[in-house]
Amino acid sequence: MTTAVQKILAEVKALSPAERQEIEAALREPGALRKPATDEDLAALLEREGVIAKRDRPLSPLPAFEPISVKGKPLSETIIEERR
């Protein structure tokens, strides 16, 4: 099975030398492979790339996670029993 990286490398090898140099230069730019630090950074990156539309307001943080209490045995046990 071919991985995504192998597919990309094959496509890069098929490019002209000038195109390969352009890709190498882009990858050498500071932060080219760095992940966005915050949700705001990610949203800004996606907006610049045209993946999402411009937002009218900043992202709001998610509410704190609060687990739900249920009666009976743990769900994981139920799932294991059903798989047998």
| Distances 32 to 4, 15, 36 between C-alpha atoms, Å | 18, 20, 10
pTM score over 0.85: no
Residue 65 resides in a domain:
no
Asked if residue 82 has pLDDT above 90, the reply is yes
Residue 40 resides in a domain:
yes
Residue 72 resides in a domain:
no
Residue 76 resides in a domain:
no
The total number of structural domains in the chain stands at: 1
Residue 81 resides in a domain:
no
Residue 71 resides in a domain:
no
Q: Which domain holds residue 1?
A: 1-60
Residue 12 resides in a domain:
yes
Write down the mean pLDDT value for the chain: 83
Least confident window among 14-28, 37-51, 65-79:
37-51
Q: What is the pLDDT of residues 20-45, one digit of tens each?
A: 888 888 888 776 667 767 877 888 88
| Distances 77 to 26, 36, 70 between C-alpha atoms, Å | 50, 38, 14
